[in-house]
Amino acid sequence: MSKAVQSSGGQVRTGGASKRQNRHPPRASSPATAAAIAAAATVSAAVVTGIFTIARPQPGPAVTASASASKNPTASPVTQPHSLIPGDQSTFIKDVTFPDNSIVRPGQRFTKKWELQNTGVVGWAGRYLAPSGSKTGSCSYPRRVRIPATKPGHKVVISVPVIAESTPGLCFVTWKMVNGSGALYFPGYLGIWFEVKISTPARLPSATSGSG
């Protein structure tokens, strides 16, 4: 899921094999022996070159850590190297309600909504959104919410009821897609989140009437 992706670079190792060289290599005793040594050196060089020219895997989608639509990472439409099910993909579309830095009152009840799109080839059924990852503050919310069944190519709006904490501050909670057992569908993603500022509205100065 977007807001959703972490890339990893591949490293090629030679399996710990090492090669020792004699301080004084033996001299070829005949032209045939010299030719055989030269051929062996050529083959060895080709093998070593082949080992280090193996293509590195392409980086996956980068997972983001911000909750706004402009900062949320979107899942790559080409590859999802960090999905539980092959061919599964999720793309963040937008914050439907309460984008980043929205102001709420202490104790206010509100509903955070995101819009996601199933951009893979796997239908979504029996899935949930659960708090997982970075969080700040003490807002109250369910331990998980159900994601409506979503066919490939379709969009879905997911809602989470929240109660702001009673004191001013920041409330930031990361959410990820899980199955009924709590396993992550996209473990390589940072997830989606909401970020609200809890603040008491400033009072307007009381009106006074002046005498002339």
CB-based burial label for 12 (10 Å; 0-12, 13-18, 19+): exposed
Spell out the domains of the chain, with CATH numbers in brackets.
1-7+32-201 (2.60.40.10)
- The pLDDT score that the predictor gives to residue 107 is 97
pLDDT tens track, the chain, 212 positions: 445 433 333 333 333 333 333 334 444 445 554 454 444 444 333 333 232 222 223 333 333 333 333 334 333 333 445 789 999 999 999 999 999 999 999 999 999 999 999 999 999 999 999 999 999 999 999 999 999 999 999 999 999 999 999 999 999 999 999 999 999 999 988 899 999 999 988 766 665 545 44
- Name the residue among 63, 120, 124, 71 with its Cα closest to residue 95: 71
β strands within 34-168, DSSP E: 90-95, 102-104, 109-118, 127-136, 145-147, 155-163
- The pLDDT score that the predictor gives to residue 41 is 43
- The pLDDT score that the predictor gives to residue 112 is 98
What's the pTM value of the predicted model, to 2 decimals? 0.60
Residue keyed to tokens 């102001």: 103
CB-based burial label for 98 (10 Å; 0-12, 13-18, 19+): buried
Q: What is the total residue count of the chain?
A: 212
β strands within 18-73, DSSP E: none
Cβ within 8 Å of residue 28, ≥6 positions away: 34, 37
Residue keyed to tokens 């280090």: 52
β-pair partners for 169: 198
- The pLDDT score that the predictor gives to residue 173 is 97
- Name the residue among 116, 133, 113, 131 with its Cα closest to residue 178: 131
- The pLDDT score that the predictor gives to residue 208 is 55
- The pLDDT score that the predictor gives to residue 32 is 52
- The pLDDT score that the predictor gives to residue 135 is 94
- Name the residue among 160, 181, 179 with its Cα closest to residue 122: 179
